[in-house]
Chains A and B, each alone.
Chain A
Amino acid sequence: MNRTTNPIKIALVGNPNIGKTTLFNKLCGLNQRTGNYPGVTIDKKIGKVNNVSREIELIDLPGINSMFPNSKDEELVVKYLLNKKAIDYPDKLIVVVSAINLKRNLYLFDQIRDLNVPIILAINMTDLALKRGVAIDIDELKKRLQIPIVLISAKNSDGIDELKGFMCADQTIESREIHYLQEDEISTLHEYASFRNSFFDQNDIYAYFLELTSKTELSEADQLMKEKFLKDNEIDQRRLKTNSSILRYKHINTILSDTVKVDKSEATDLTTRLDRIFLHPIFGYIIFGLILFGIFQAIFWLASYPMDLIDMGFANLSTGVNNLLPEGYFTRLLTEGLIPGLGGVIIFIPQIAILFLLFSILEESGYMSRIVYLTDRLMQRFGMSGKSIIPMISGLACAIPAIMAARTIENSRERLITILVTPLLTCSARIPVYVVIIALIVPDDLNVWIFNAQGLALMALYLLGIMMTFIVAFVLKMIMKPTYKSYLLMEMPEYLRPDPKNVLIRVWHNVKAFVWNAGKIIIATAIILFVLATNGGDAFKGADETIKTEYRDLSIEEQDVLISSYKIENSYLGIMGQAIEPVLKPLGYDWKIGIAIITSLAAREVFVGTISVIYAIDSEEEMTIRDRLRNEVNPTTGLPVFGLATCVSLLLFYAFSLQCMSTVAVTYKETKSLRWTSIQFIYMSLLAYFSALIAFQLLS
């Protein structure tokens, strides 16, 4: 094989929270996410290693605790590692372990070792371990394990060059004696291997062992064979697995007793001391509450300054372009379609950036796992696990990564409930809708005590979303039958100072992904909307004559205003909006809002863009979205269109409806069930419609 054209494929494997992603960033210099709670690495990521003598493709796999998969995430990784015949199968593995947690990390290493794939063992966090008095005799360890071992510190780049050297070197591996099974178990597995006679090598006892003990995906015939064998030989799968774990730990203990010395004089370290405060039965929860409250206030008032600037900037840009370019259809498309639409996306970059910044810090520092611990008891009452809190908090930013993050939840019922309720949480796409509407009913400069009233209103909406999430989860818990026993077993990471580079890379990634994904949809809808709003049937084309003959007495200016509103009413867009008006009228919406609701079916944030496009076409002057909406008056009643009742009704509608096609798609992908995907969409739509209906009818 030609080295220059065929890169070596190397995969990074290891337990969660051991700095695997930081190492990946260090090796590839590629912008990637990293975090301090299980499940940040959702899909495998691929990068090219920098500054090495040959081309290396590095694959970062999600962290796993065992080769006996328990969660969706682990299932995927184990399947990938077992499928040796796949074309993308790695040539080599780097197993990353933490020096402070060697015993348990080596357990996973020991399991992976039996795959007989060339392995490099990278012992990370050696700087921290040194401070803890952990001394590793690396030469002895190399002799015992018979593989390349390197001590590294991914954060400080220690040992990275040595690791790169090992990565480039050619490497083979011999199979070793089976120490994880007893004699009689080994012969049973040989029997199974010849009985099954599958595509695994007959001598690959480990592959057969995993197939026999785990819930792997098998064809129906294979599954029947496996079950027959288990029954005929009276095999207790759980006992077989537990015994193998005990034997592996025995093996590791003998190695570690000869190679690692721990000076236990440092009994209370920083993490233990911090946990006394953060996990305190009273203060722990108060701190958690304060952190959440801080996030909401930061999102609102901290972000409001750049947002006001952006809002004004886009209004000015429209005016500027309008004055600069000659009058015409293209200019109008720019100033009334594209620019306001684009502004609708850009305006909430500050909020998303702040949100992801704070989340990344929480994750990187290790606090996120403490939240899991603090909330597990409460979440269980609602049919979820403490681990559901991670998807739920991410759901406050965006439901899509949140639903994917639910993969770390081991129990399928807890996972399904989490997926079904997560989109009820206030995601960042709702923020622009909320911000625009709140601004219409709560004055800017109003303060309640020291807090900004608009911030409090936003917080109330967040709380409403959280409340509804729990109510629906509780209902689902009552309806759905428990599957198998749920459990929570997790490692609590050390508290670490968040690495600014990791945090910023993550913020940048999320903001970029948001702008790109939302931007595409919003700009496309803005253009379609504009075209639909500026074209129409005969009534639209004859607008000038109709108005001029019917309102002959009015001045030319007054006639112009009437013509433009007559035009939009009779445009294709107006006809569509009026068609659905009867359904939306009880909620207090006119046909223009109806159009915004239709267009934002694809993505909620389109609402603001649509509203600004529709009203921009309708009015002559350039002004900010907010002022434009404030000035909008219902022609029949003379009252503002965006009165209190309509605004509250809209807020509730957007709080509960699943107006995000990407979420629908990801729910389908993750549940592989059309039934649950439809249930989610339907229950949320009904919830939205009826709560908006009740609110409007009570308030108007």
Chain B
Amino acid sequence: MFTTRKQYEPYISPFDPCPPIRVKTYVTAPNLYVGFQPPNLPQFPLREALMKGTLWQVFYDPYYSPYETKTKGDGS
């Protein structure tokens, strides 16, 4: 399997004007890993799929603001 959030720690200068963000995150969406979609992948129930934006569980990767919710944008 794969993860859809990656982290890195940028260099922090002792002279930075703002409080440093020590860990930066970025998104690596599922479409980077699946290649040509193989047959018979698991699906969401139809009504759920309409709301989620995809029929295929493997491609469902919702994004939440790291500033707003308890579900962090870094996927943790």
The yes or no verdict on A and B being binding partners is no
